[in-house]
Amino acid sequence: MWTRLALFLSSILLATPAQAQEDGEATAAATLDLGLDGPVPSVSRDIYFDQDLYIDRDLMLEGITATETVNFRVPENWDLSSDPILHLRFNHSASLTESRSVLTIWVNGNGAGSVRLGPSNVEDGLLKVRLPRTSFYAEGYNNIQFRVVQHVDDVCEDPFDPAVWTRVQLDSFIRFKYREVDPNTDLLRFPQPYFDPRGYGEAELALAGMGDVSAAQLDALAILGFALGRHSAYRGVHVRGPVVEPSQASTHVLVVGTPSENPLVGTYIDTTKLRAGVGTIASIPNPGNPAKAILVVTGGDAEGVVKAAEALASQDRYESLSGQIASVSEIRDPVPPETLRVPLPVPPREAATGMRFPLSDMRMKDTTVRGFYAPPIRIPIHMEGDAEVHIDGARIGLDYAYSSGLDTRLSTLEVRLDDVTLRSVSLREARGSEKARLWVDLPHELMKPDTELEVVFHLFPLNFDPCVYITDRHIWGTVFASTELRLARDGYTKLPDLGKLKYDLWPYDAALAQRGGLLIVAPDDAGAWDAATVTQLMAHLGTVSVAARPDFAVVRGGSAAAEDEGRDMIVLVGDGRNRTYTTLRDRGSLTQKLDETSVLVNDDTDRVLAAHVGTPYGTIEQTLLSSEGIGRTALVLRSKTSRELLRLVQRLRDPAVTSGMTGNVAVVGSGTDVRSLSVVEPETVGTRSVASTLRRLLQASWAALIIGVIAAAILLSLLIRSWAARRGGQA
């Protein structure tokens, strides 16, 4: 009873004013029954199109008829207490005729509501539509369709008049009212309930019972964090601050360590049954918060704890675990779950197909678009952060098809690279095309590590007449996954450069796939907040990295492994001492020295700034330990407290923060404010092929080009004379 009362009161305190006062809807989310068997109170949550459904632009409905679809989900642990309400915000052209223009809402193919499009809702239109639960699919995945019929004239109208449009805005949302049901904690269902594929937002976790953290606990948390990052994919993982007791957490809880390292283990596990070298995993409801669960990862010793984490985080092994408690005595070759990123980055340079590959290697599928207002087909091209495309080294062989019924005088196919049009061809076949290939050169100077290619079909129906209504749903264009990309490129850049972090934390994501891997250096005496920071960092790396067999290790500052400059390092500095950081600082590898006084020095070790740091802001510095190539950098994340260090690592997941970084030092504020400094001169890292170097040299200098042409002519002349002399001698 008291647990449910606490949950109800917390839901009231956390409710926003907008949720509490909604025109036309009941303001009370639930009634409280003070009886011993009272119902769990309902809570309310708004699911926004942009933040929660990841729609990145307003939905434009253009033409006399048009349809757009939005997919939404019902999480597994939501017991809906009423039909969700769609709060649709829209506007439309002032030219539309109200008597003949209407917007209709469909849920899984069933009509749910409609509104006339007239002067009263040209701007700031709002439509509330009840989404009937009887139309929802049992699997929890559903869709909403927005269908419009739009007219501007009763006599003669152009069906593709640009004045015929309606826009569905991104601040539209669906309001759910639900009760959280007790989670199913059977290990057979892992990663549920800790990550629900049908849920919204990040997977949220908190560590409990942590004190001084052992090496085995750090290893186990890194393994679990990376695996959860893989499971959560684009949604990510958010690690909350540690708690003493699970009842204090509003999220799912991780309890990791041996009974002596984490006293909470004995609360949920019979410790007399633990054995050395054997790991134990338990997944149980949280007695203090029945809607959440507790994941216990323990063992009879350090080896057992790591075994338990590896079994739970391994690609195939966790699928065989079942029940609420399982033991692991042996595990061989643990491999983390496969990345769920779609599309994948392009294959690495070192791979056999790294220079030439189909889109299917990036997990892209055949894609078809329809109608006059067909949206562009987007092909993200994500390369390594140091990718330098050769001159004439990038081409795409576009495999495409299109329908019959097109006006071949007007219909075209356009290819763009980052909004720059490269090629446009006519769609000339009146009977359509089953499959054709178009080769397009991609200018090397436009190719960046995060380039996006767009294929746009401009489709016009046959016998088009401005005063005759013609449907456009029968005309279509397709891009096939057999489309071939050719990307000849070198790994060549200058470091240190924090601007590279925006490319999936490069080079640290790439280091996971290298021999020797990535080294995470925690403080010498890591505590609960440091453990949460390690878990958060590894979860983010699990999200962005696509390495099939990532190689990483977590060590304490000052360990022998941290002195190995053959691998990339991420050094974490918070409350406690980190001897690896101290070593880097004392030998002059770092320009930013943070103690009680912040001292900034330049390359000549001249002090250029000394100031007291009076705010909890964090700093990020990258230093180049060797110019031999990848595996020779250290990234130092430094805050005045370990609490702030966790927040600093969490900000690395925000593109607004990483995209604002340049140089070798960045000062990160409490929000997305970033100030970058370039104190050291960057050095060249990587190799450029001889042919690429020569071509760039000739392109950059007309004088060198002329000399090269003259030298080639002289060489050719000498070869001809030599050949002629030998032929004459034979005669």
Using alpha carbons, select from 292, 293, 265 the residue that is nearest to residue 279: 265
Domain boundary assignment for the chain: 1-39, 42-180, 187-328, 356-491, 496-686, 701-730
The total of other beta-carbon atoms located within 10 Å of residue 110's CB is 13
CATH code of the region 356-491? 2.60.120.260
Q: How confident is the model at residue 689 (pLDDT cuts 50, 70, 90)?
A: confident
Answer whether 532's CB lies under 8 Å from 242's CB.
Answer: yes
Phi-psi region of 209 (alpha: psi -120 to 50; beta: other; left: phi over 0): left
Which backbone phi and psi does 582 adopt, to 5 degrees?
Answer: -60, -40
What's the rounded Cα separation, in Å, for the pair 117 and 490?
A: 55
What's the rounded Cα separation, in Å, for the pair 381 and 374?
A: 22
- Scan for tokens 């894609």, then name that residue: 367
Q: In this predicted model, what pLDDT tens digit does every residue of 58-83 receive, in sequence order?
A: 999 998 889 999 999 999 999 999 99
Helices 702-730 and 690-700 pack at an angle, to 10 degrees, of 120
Secondary element (H or E) of residue 230:
helix 215-232
Using alpha carbons, select from 602, 538, 625 the residue that is nearest to residue 313: 538
Name the CA dihedral angle for 623, 624, 629, 634, rounded to a multiple of 10 degrees: -40
Give residue 673's identity as a one-letter amino acid code.
Answer: D
**Confidence at residue 374, expressed as pLDDT on a 0 to 100 scale:** 92
Select 42-180's CATH number: 3.10.180.10, 2.40.480.10, 2.60.120.260, 2.40.50.1070. 2.60.120.260
What's the rounded Cα separation, in Å, for the pair 472 and 370?
A: 8
DSSP state of 7: H
pTM of the predicted model as reported, rounded to 2 decimal places: 0.87
What's the whole-number mean pLDDT along residues 144-156? 89
- Scan for tokens 């049901």, then name that residue: 181
What DSSP string runs through 400-462? EEE-SSB-TTT-EEEEEETTEEEEEEE---TT-EEEEEEEEE--GGG--TEEEEEEEEE--BT
Q: In this predicted model, what pLDDT tens digit does every residue of 314-367 receive, in sequence order?
A: 887 656 788 999 999 998 888 999 999 999 999 998 776 678 999 999 999 999
The overall average pLDDT reported for the chain is 87
The token duo for 455 is 């294929």
Q: Is the pLDDT of residue 514 over 50?
A: yes
Which backbone phi and psi does 161 adopt, to 5 degrees?
Answer: -60, 130
Question: What are the C-alpha distances in Å from 252 to residues 86, 183, 255, 325, 594?
Answer: 29, 10, 10, 17, 35
Q: Where does 169-225 show beta strands of DSSP type E?
A: 173-180, 203-207
DSSP state of 182: P
Answer whether 563's CB lies under 8 Å from 531's CB.
Answer: no
Q: How confident is the model at residue 594 (pLDDT cuts 50, 70, 90)?
A: very low
What DSSP string runs through 512-528? TTSTT-EEEEE-TT--H
Q: In this predicted model, what pLDDT tens digit does every residue of 616-634 receive, in sequence order?
A: 678 999 999 875 555 589 9
Is the dihedral angle over the CA atoms 440, 445, 446, 451 positive or is it negative?
A: positive
Select 496-686's CATH number: 1.10.1200, 3.30.379, 3.40.50, 3.30.720. 3.30.379
Answer whether 192's CB lies under 8 Å from 184's CB.
Answer: yes
Q: What percent of the chain has a predicted confidence (pLDDT) above 70?
A: 86
Using alpha carbons, select from 489, 484, 482 the residue that is nearest to residue 448: 489
Q: Is the pLDDT of residue 219 over 70?
A: yes
What's the rounded Cα separation, in Å, for the pair 298 and 221?
A: 11
Domains 42-180 and 187-328 alike in fold = no
The token duo for 13 is 């305190």
Counted residue by residue, the chain has a size of: 731
Give residue 610's identity as a one-letter amino acid code.
Answer: A
CATH code of the region 187-328? 3.30.379.10
**Confidence at residue 607, expressed as pLDDT on a 0 to 100 scale:** 63
Cβ partners under 8 Å of residue 156, min gap 6: 466, 467
Answer whether 112's CB lies under 8 Å from 135's CB.
Answer: yes
Question: What are the C-alpha distances in Å from 643 to residues 125, 203, 528, 559, 705?
Answer: 44, 20, 10, 24, 58
Phi-psi region of 333 (alpha: psi -120 to 50; beta: other; left: phi over 0): left
What's the rounded Cα separation, in Å, for the pair 618 and 145?
A: 45
Secondary element (H or E) of residue 721:
helix 702-730
Q: In this predicted model, what pLDDT tens digit does every residue of 225-272 receive, in sequence order?
A: 999 999 999 999 999 999 999 999 999 999 999 999 999 999 999 999
